[in-house]
Amino acid sequence: MAYNEGMLRDGALDNKTIIITGGGTGLGKSMAAYFLKLGANIVICSRRLEVLEKTARELEETTGGNVLYAACDVRKTEQIEDVIAKSIERFGRVDGLVNNSAGNFISPTERLSFKAVDTIVDIVLRGTYYFTLALGKYWIEQKIKGTVLNISTTYAWTGSGWVVPSAMAKAGVLAMTKSLAFEWADHGIRLNAIAPGPFPTKGAWERLFPEELAKKFSFENRIPLQRLGEHQELTNLAAYLMSDFSSYMTGEVITLDGGEVLAAGQFNFLSEVSDDQWDSIEEEIKNANRNSKKSE
Ligand code: HXC
Ligand code: NAP
């Protein structure tokens, strides 16, 4: 078995209808493909209808599954209601939601207009709570034990300069995940999140690692496990969290980043120290120990 192979057994998502926001591209598209292979009906939605149509056709051809696509700006509640209505009309019900849509770009914060900040926060935070609230109301009314997966980031905890609107919004998404996981647990509704490290996608790379930067800074060197993530690794975890295998898990945020976030450890700068340097450092510390014993 290899880490980039599908992990769950066939039929793991049978009879589940799952809406994936931003499912036309990147990680959303990869999740859609794997969920379809596992037997789910998939609804993908985002702003660009032509992108969704192309993805839906491709996914139906490659997996033989059922895909509904619908245009939806997640900042618009009436468009969200419309996607949910169309999903119920086509598949009879909705069981799961992956809040995957996002907007983001790197910039010194002082260069941002108010509208630029609003744009990111509205897509990421408002879009996530609008969609979750709309489906939560439906699930509670229909007594459906729905499942939500929010795609977050590791800097939702640590914060990060140069992506401040995204960090603020993703932190809000985490607070919602944990808060609603408790509040809606007695309805059987579960909410979990994934905090991915770098998983190459066109959307993220164009806006976060433009060529100018990529030439100077290599991601792989900063990641303790020395490589980028592969989509199948993330989709394996996502499928588990959307499946009944994770029925006892809620309010959890799982980091999948090759150890990247651990770089905050106070002494991790010591990875720069060579073996030779360690020999003399050890000697220096032991000398200091001996001297302090003598002076006691
Ligand atoms: C400064 C910028 C800017 C930039 C846009 N703006 N890009 N300001 N620097 N590079 C400003 C605009 O000038 C405008 O403000 C405001 O932001 C809105 O821009 P629009 O282009 O009008 O918005 P819109 O067409 O809605 O596009 C939204 C977008 C765009 C977020 C700007 O990038 C987009 O569509 N993104 C969707 C996909 C995406 O971002 N994927 C990456 C996800 S990766 P003014 O005041 O001038 O009108 C991720 C996590 C990564 O989230 C973690 C990696 C490890
Ligand atoms: P992506 O391909 O750019 O995906 C973003 C999606 O969001 C697009 O399909 C886009 O479609 C949709 N979207 C943007 N604005 C929207 C709006 N207003 N309404 C509805 N949909 C909208 O990038 P990605 O890398 O796959 O990102 C997917 C998720 O993973 C995001 O939540 C991101 O924050 C998270 N993430 C990614 C990485 C990574 O390394 N790739 C790391 C950490 C977290 P339209 O343009 O058609 O609307």
Q: List pLDDT tens digits, range 24-69.
A: 999 999 999 999 999 999 999 999 999 999 999 999 999 999 999 9
Query: Torsion angle of alpha carbons 53, 58, 60, 64, nearest 10°?
Result: 180
* Residue 190 one-letter amino acid: R
Ligand found nearest the CA of 110: 1
Measured from the Cα of 124, ligand 2's closest atom is 32
pLDDT of residue 262: 95
**Identity at 130, one-letter amino acid code:** Y
CA-to-CA distance for 160 and 167, rounded, in angstroms? 6
pLDDT in tens, 59-116: 999 999 999 999 999 999 999 999 999 999 999 999 999 999 999 999 999 999 999 9
CA angle 83, 85, 91 (to 5 degrees): 95
Give me 127's structure tokens.
Answer: 């879009």
Exposed, middle or buried: residue 113 (CB in 10 Å: 0-12, 13-18, 19+)?
Answer: exposed
Residue 164 scores a pLDDT above 80: yes
Which sequence positions are flagged as catalytic?
155
Q: Which atom of ligand 2 is nearest to the CA of 29?
A: 26
Q: For 28-59, give one letter per residue: b (16+ CB within 10 A) or e.
A: bbbbbbbbbbbbbbbbbbbbeeebbeebbeeb
**Amino acid letter for position 62:** T
**How high does pLDDT run on average in the chain?**
97
Query: In the chain, what are the helix, strand and coil shares in percent, each to the nearest 5?
Result: 55, 10, 35
Closest CA to 145 of 195, 97, 91, 85: 97
Structural domains for the chain:
17-267 (3.40.50.720)
In terms of pTM, does the model score above 0.95? yes
Name the CA radius of gyration of the chain, rounded: 22
User: Strands 147-151 and 253-256, how do they pair?
Assistant: unpaired
Mutation to probe ligand 1, out of 201, 207, 219, 260 (largest number of atoms < 8 A from CB): 207
pLDDT in tens, 205-243: 999 999 888 888 887 788 999 999 999 999 999 999 999
**Nearest ligand, CA of residue 26?**
2
Query: What's the pLDDT at 59?
Result: 98
